[in-house]
């Protein structure tokens, strides 16, 4: 089994100048698609679960799923709670087997963010679980996270290292102008801020809100060598769009030859294929493909 926490995975990605992709899943089929993509691309991977997904599927099922899927490969696989804002939920994820958690205290004043992040770090490290913190506040909407543009707060470059030193986080999510959701072709990123943070901070840096970034901006972010980049919205669209494509095709065939095909297993297979191909494409862009020499156990 190669189910691990994110510590060495992200240290290695920074040292070797590639990005580990973190992909949000919603059920077993989407998780399986992400893991299969990692195996086929010989790439380390981080599976992300939102608080909403945890509440829907439960604390026992998700760790069992990821441990089962990682049991027959040498690919490094981690699972992180994404944007944990509820202390009780975060601690239960740690207790039930997540290998990493994110404590998102970014909506709090700086001192309060430090305090609650430090609390989670202490609890998690005691159990061998790594912690991602957040400093700054990115905009957009993702499930229970909804930040209007007037509430966006870019990361203070000088505070980033201080926050790491005060809290002991293993990685830090920063705000440079990315946002949750789709960009619609418009994006204004503060690359000077990113450059400053990367220069001052010797630890893994995380970029959220990477779905649908304009290709040029995506490549430029990668050139600054963050350790982890998150993809969520595009996974959800691939998931639901695949079902819609299958149903639309079934309706078209019915009009043509009076045959209604409603085969859930076939639809699920198309969903998996769509998500897998999307994840594989990002692994190529991130430079993580081929980083694991042998992707098969034994």
Give the Cα separation of 51 and 42 in Å (integer): 29
Both structure tokens of 223: 């050139």
Q: Domain for residue 138, yes or no?
A: yes
pLDDT in tens, 248-274: 887 666 555 556 678 899 999 999 999
Looking up residue 218, the CATH number of its domain turns out to be 3.20.20.70
Q: Domain for residue 225, yes or no?
A: yes
pLDDT in tens, 32-78: 999 999 999 999 999 999 999 999 999 999 999 999 999 999 999 99
Burial degree of 248 (CB within 10 A; 0-12, 13-18, 19+): exposed
- Sorted by sequence, the CB contacts under 8 Å of residue 169 that are 6+ apart come out as 117, 121, 131, 132, 133, 163, 203
pLDDT in tens, 108-167: 999 999 999 999 999 999 999 999 999 987 654 455 544 445 455 899 999 999 999 999
Contact 160, 152 (CB under 8 A): no
Q: In this predicted structure, what is the pLDDT of residue 185? A: 53
Higher pLDDT residue, 21 or 136? 21
The answer to whether the predicted template modeling score (pTM) of the entire model surpasses 0.85 is yes
Flag whether pLDDT at 183 surpasses 90. Answer: no
Q: Domain for residue 18, yes or no?
A: yes
**Cα three-residue angle 270-18-122, rounded to 5 degrees:** 95
Q: What mean pLDDT value characterizes the chain?
A: 90
Q: In this predicted structure, what is the pLDDT of residue 151? A: 52
Q: Domain for residue 267, yes or no?
A: no
- Give the chain's domain count: 1
Q: Domain for residue 68, yes or no?
A: yes
pLDDT in tens, 192-212: 999 999 999 999 999 998 988
Give the residue numbers marked as catalytic: 82
Give the Cα separation of 135 and 147 in Å (integer): 14
Helical (H) or strand (E) element with 83: strand 77-84
Return the half-sphere exposure (C-beta side, CA atoms, 13 A cut-off) of residue 252. Answer: 6
Q: In this predicted structure, what is the pLDDT of residue 262? A: 81
Local structure of 97: helix, strand or coil: coil
Q: Domain for residue 56, yes or no?
A: yes
Q: What is the DSSP letter of 156?
A: P
Flag whether pLDDT at 297 surpasses 80. Answer: no
Would you say the C-alpha torsion 247, 252, 254, 259 has a positive or negative sign? negative
Q: Domain for residue 150, yes or no?
A: yes
Would you say the C-alpha torsion 71, 231, 189, 118 has a positive or negative sign? negative
Burial degree of 293 (CB within 10 A; 0-12, 13-18, 19+): exposed
Give the Cα separation of 101 and 144 in Å (integer): 16
Q: Which domain holds residue 99?
A: 7-242+276-286
């Amino acid at each position: 089994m190669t189910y691990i926490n994110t510590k060495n995975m992200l240290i290695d990605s920074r040292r070797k100048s590639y990005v580990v992709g973190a992909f949000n899943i919603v059920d077993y089929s989407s998780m399986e698609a992400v893991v299969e993509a990692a195996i086929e691309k010989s790439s380390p991977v981080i599976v992300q679960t939102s608080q909403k997904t945890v509440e829907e599927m439960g604390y026992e099922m998700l760790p069992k799923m990821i441990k089962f899927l990682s049991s027959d490969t040498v690919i490094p696989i981690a699972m992180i709670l994404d944007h944990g804002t509820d202390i009780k939920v975060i601690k239960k994820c740690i207790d039930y087997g997540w290998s990493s958690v994110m404590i998102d205290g970014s909506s709090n004043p700086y001192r309060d963010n430090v305090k609650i992040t430090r609390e989670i770090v202490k609890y998690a490290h005691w159990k061998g679980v790594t912690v991602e913190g957040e400093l700054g506040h990115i905009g957009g909407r993702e499930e229970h996270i909804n930040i209007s543009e007037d509430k966006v707060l870019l990361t203070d470059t000088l505070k980033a290292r201080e926050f790491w030193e005060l809290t002991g986080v293993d990685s830090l999510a920063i705000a440079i102008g990315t946002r949750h959701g789709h960009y619609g072709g418009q994006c204004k990123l503060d690359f000077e801020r990113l450059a400053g943070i990367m220069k001052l901070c010797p630890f893994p840096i995380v970029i959220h809100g990477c779905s649908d970034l304009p290709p040029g901006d995506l490549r430029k972010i990668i050139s600054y060598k963050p350790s982890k980049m998150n993809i969520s919205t595009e996974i959800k669209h691939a998931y639901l769009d695949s079902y819609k494509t299958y149903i639309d095709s079934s309706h078209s065939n019915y009009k043509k030859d009076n045959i209604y095909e409603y085969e859930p297993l076939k639809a699920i297979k198309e969903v998996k294929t769509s998500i897998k191909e999307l994840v594989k494409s990002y692994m190529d862009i991130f430079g993580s493909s081929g980083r694991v020499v042998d992707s098969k156990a034994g």
